[in-house]
Structure 1
Amino acid sequence: MYIPNSAWTWSFFMVAVVQAVIGLALERFQLSLENRADQEAQSRTIPTYLALFIFGFLYEFYPLYDALKYNNTIQVIGICFFNLALLIYAGVQTDQIKDAVLSLQDQPNGPFIKGGVWADLKPFLIAVPCVIALGTVLLSFIAWKLYDEFAWTIYKDISADLRMKRRYLVFQIYRALLKFDFFFFLGFTVQFLVVVGNTRAIEFWLTIAAIPITIIILVLADYWTKHESTTGMISIITLYFAALAYFLFKLVRMYDTSTQSGRDRVADYKPARRSLTTFAVITVLLLLVTIANACWCTSNFGKGLKSHVVKRKIVSQDGKSDYAESAHPLGQVPSRMTID
C-alpha cells in the first residue's frame, strides 16, 4: 500500500486507523438475548448498528487512501465531513439502542433480554461518540496542514490555466461526492431491509434490487463524466432526481400519521426511525450537491477538460507501471486536484 512519505499524511492515516480500532473495540459488546428475541424488530437494531459502524470505519479507508495517494484535498475535506456524519450517527445510536433494550425488557409475554444490560452498554455507547469527536478534531487539524502541503505539490506540477483548474476542481468534487453517496444510500437501505418489519414483498425486493443498480449508476456516472457524454449525464441527473424523490417520499412515510395505515407504518419504522431519518437527510443533502455538481460538470464538456482526465499507462524509472493524466500543452496535470 502506497502513501506519500510525509509526516502529515502518515498522521492523517494513523489517526483514522486508531479511531477505527478503538471505535470498533468499543462497539464489540454482546447482548444476552433469548432465542425468541430474533422475532422482534427491536432486537435487530443493535447488530445492524454494529454492522454499519464496522462498514463505515472500513469504508472510510477507501477515500482516505485515494486522497493521500493522489494529494486530493477535496477528499481529505470530505473525510472530515464523513467522520462528522459518523459522529452524528453515534449520537443517534445511543438513544436508539436504549429504546430497543427497554422495549425488549418490557414485552408483555416476558422480557427478551436480561436486566441490567442497558447499564452495561451505556458507558461504551457514550465513549464511541467521544472517540469519534476527538478523531474528527484531529483529522480536521491535520487536513488544514495537508491543505498547504498538497497545494505546494500541485503548484509545482499544475498548469497555470485557472479556468481549466476550476473545471478540473469541479470534476474532482463530483467524483468524491459519488464515493460518499454510495455509503449513505447503502446505510439507509440496509437498515430499512433488516429492521423495518411488515414491508410489502414488492417493496422489499425492489429495495434489494436498488443496491446493485445504484452501484452501476455510480460507475456510469463517473465514466460518462470522464468521457464527456452529455446524453449519459442527462440520464444520470434524471436518476438523481428520482432518488431524491424516493428519499423525500420515505421521510414523509416515516412520520405520516394522518391515516390508520400511516400510523401502523410509523410503528413499523419506529425501531430505526431516528437512524433512518439521519441517513435519509444526509443522503438528500448529498444528492442536492451531487445534482448541482453534475450539471456543472456537464456544462464544462467540450472545453478541453477531457484531455486532463483520460488516463494513460506510463512506466516509472524503476520499471513499475503507474497511471497518469494525459499530457496537456499547458503543462503536467496531476491525477487528482486540490484546492489552492
Structure 2
Amino acid sequence: MFKKSIAALMAVSLCFAGMAAPVSSNLSTITPICASAAYENGRLYNQWDSQWANVHFTKYSTDPSQNNMKVSACGVFAFCNAIYALNYTYADAKAVATWGVNDGGYRPGAGGTYRDIFFSHVQAAYGDAYKFTMDGMYSGKVTDSRFINHLSSGGVAVVHVYGHFIAITGYRNGQYHVIDSAVTSGRGLAADGWVSASKLQSGTTNVDWYALLSNKPSGNENQNCPYTKRFESGTKLYAAPGSSQVTTTLTSANVYTIVEEQTVNGVKYGKFKSGAGWAILSENLNWGPVATNYTKRFEKGTKLYTAAGSSEVKTTLSEGSVFTIVQEQMVNGVKYGKFKSGAGWAIL
C-alpha cells in the first residue's frame, strides 16, 4: 500500500485511453480527457499504438486494463521522444519502462510516472547508453529564462501538464516545439508541432514543472585543444553545439583559438576562446543505418528507392498514408527512412 506521504512528495501522471483512472484513497491521481490520436509527423513513439496495450506490469496492479503502457506510460514515452530529438538515439521504451517499474519511478496502474524518482535516477541508468545528462528538475513555466536558454542552447525538456508528460525540443521566435506521445482533443496539441507560450500556460497544457536534458560529450573531444584555425568571413557562430541559434556572424576572415570540441549528430563544433560561440568544424554527411521505430505521413507520389542513396526507384506511393520507419541513413547529406513493410527507402 502506498503511503500518503509518498503521494504528497511526488507528482504522478497517468494517460488514459478513454477509461477511468483507478481510485485509491492513498494516491492522488488525475485523469486527462483522451480521444483518438492524430497523425504524427516524426515523433519516435505514439502511445496510442495498440502494441502498448499488450505490455503489462503486475508489480503495482494486477488489473490488465490499468497496468499497461498504453494507459500510463506518458512519462516514459516523453523521455524517449526527448532523447530522440536530442541526439537521434533510439531509446527502448519497453526497456526504460521495465527499469522504471523495478526502480519505483514508473508504477503502471498505481499512479503512472513518479517524476521525482524517475528523473532523479534515469541518468545513472541510461546516461551513457543514450548520451545525455540531466541538468535539473524545476517547478516553473516555459517562459522562465532558464528554460528558454536551455532550449536555445540545444537542450530538450520533459514537462508536466495536467495529468500528462510531453517533450519540448526547441524554441524560436517565442514558439516552442512540442512532441506529444498521446494526442487528445482535450489538450489540442499536435503529435509534433510548434505552439505559443500562451498555449503552454493555460488549461490542460499549462506547464508547471520541467526536467532539462542535454547532450553528453562523447569523451573523445578536446584531445588537441586548444589550437588555432582560420575561419572565413560569413562563418556563423552558434549558441551551443547542435543549436540553431546564431550568436554572431564573422564579418572578416581571421585566425581564432578553439578551446573545446563537441560532435552532435555527426557535426563537429569548435568553441571560440573569446566565448563568441561555436563554429562548425566539419560535418559527417554519411552515417547509419541506425535503428528507429516511428511513424510518419508520406504523400501521394512519394518515391521509394531500393536503398538509401540509390537512384533506382522501387515504387511510387499511389496515395498518402502513415508508414512506420524502422531505419534511418544519411547519404551525401540526404536522410532516408526505410519502410517497415520493406517497400523501400523514402527521402525524409
Q: Which has the higher helix share?
A: 1
**Which TM-score applies when normalising by structure 2?**
0.25
TM-score normalised to structure 1 length: 0.25
Q: Which has the higher strand share?
A: 2
**Which one scores higher on RCO, CA 8 angstroms, separation ≥ 6?**
1
